[in-house]
Amino acid sequence: MAFAQFVVNGLLVGALFAAVAVGFALIWGVVDIINLAHGEMVMLGGYASYWTITLVNGSPTASPGLALASVPVAVAVLFVVGYALQRFVVSHVIGTDLFLTLLVTFGLSILIQQLGLQAFSADPRTISVQFAEQSLDIAGLVVPKVKLIAFVGAVALTIALFAFMKRTRTGRAIRAVSQNDEAAALVGIDVEHVRAVTFGLSSAIAGGAGAFVAMILNIQPQMGLIYTLKSFVIVVFGGIGSVPGALVGGLLLGTVEELTAGFVSSKWTLAVSFTLLIVLLVVKPQGLFGEGMGGEAE
């Protein structure tokens, strides 16, 4: 029974990791940037939601309705942040070398953390979502309602992003830029704008996930790195440029981490995840679903 419970816990939180990683994969595939500041978008989304609720209620305690209403705020704020980061900073290093883009996004990560510490202090915070009953009992398994909401929310964000990419004119433009940016410019797409929108969407989904993280875990200005690392593992694991791969990878990573934490120790979660990644890369270098490093994102 413990095993099943850990798996359920893992899937519930894994959906959040997946949503974050889908955003990370999107920028990697379309803009060709490994965004080391991606985890900071999760952090900022968490604070956007936290402060929205605190402003409305006077305290970080929310009804489920208010908690959910704070998510679009985080999504919108982070869209703007991501758009601006691409337009004013990252666009200047696109197409230079990989090292430079890593350095710039790493620098952004450090800067945003420091600004976060100034603005929010290092104290961990959490949003407390109030239910009459905090948990459901499903066939003997404990399912906290807030985690269920986060799970459904994360899946909804991921599906919304899919739908956006498939159905909208901007989504088509994003796919076009990712497949051949010169051809995209040729047919009249404003490539710079589309890259910035992509960065905005990527940050928005990370921010939305961050709002849910604030409800089920703690947020703290330096929490970002761990999400960047997780995204990295998931995206490489699922196959670079593969969004379904990121989704499966996220659920898998959540499960592996919960099982490790449950049966070994929570100290070992990241080490175990990276070990699995190394094993996979040795056995199947192109990831589970992908075409490998530098493969065409489609």
Partner 1 sequence: MSTETITYDDVDDPLLEMRDVTAGYGNTTVIHDVNVTVGDGEIACLIGPNGSGKSTLMKSIYGFADVFEGRVRLGGEDVTGRSPQDNLRAGMSYVLQDASVFPGMSVHENMLMGGYVFDDDSRARKRAEELYDEFPRLGDLREQRAGSLSGGQRRLLELARALMVEPDVMMLDEPSIGLEPRYIDQVFERIQQLNDLGTTILLVEQNAEKGLSVADRGFVLASGEIKFTGSGTELLNDEEVGRLYLGG
Which residues form the interface with partner 1 (CB under 8 A)? 169, 172-173, 175-176, 179-180, 182-190, 296, 298
Q: Kindly report the length of the chain.
A: 298
CA atoms within 13 A on the CB side of 56: 16
3-class secondary structure, 219: strand
Nearest distance from C-beta of residue 76 to partner 1, angstroms: 26
For residues 175 and 94, is the Cβ–Cβ distance under 8 A?
A: no
Among 76, 74, 75, CA closest to 51? 74
145/175 with CB nearer partner 1: 175
User: Strand 128-129 and strand 61-62: pairing?
Assistant: parallel
95/107 with CB nearer partner 1: 95
CA 66 to mean position of chain CA atoms: 22
153/171 with CB nearer partner 1: 171
Nearest distance from C-beta of residue 94 to partner 1, angstroms: 15
- Tokens read off for 188: 């009249």
Nearest distance from C-beta of residue 186 to partner 1, angstroms: 6
Nearest distance from C-beta of residue 4 to partner 1, angstroms: 39
179/222 with CB nearer partner 1: 179
190/218 with CB nearer partner 1: 190
Taking CA atoms, 5 is separated from 9, 144, 148, 262, in Å, by 6, 12, 14, 10
Residues 6+ apart with CB under 8 A from 286: 239, 292, 293, 295
- DSSP annotation of 296: P
Nearest distance from C-beta of residue 78 to partner 1, angstroms: 27
Nearest distance from C-beta of residue 23 to partner 1, angstroms: 20
12/184 with CB nearer partner 1: 184
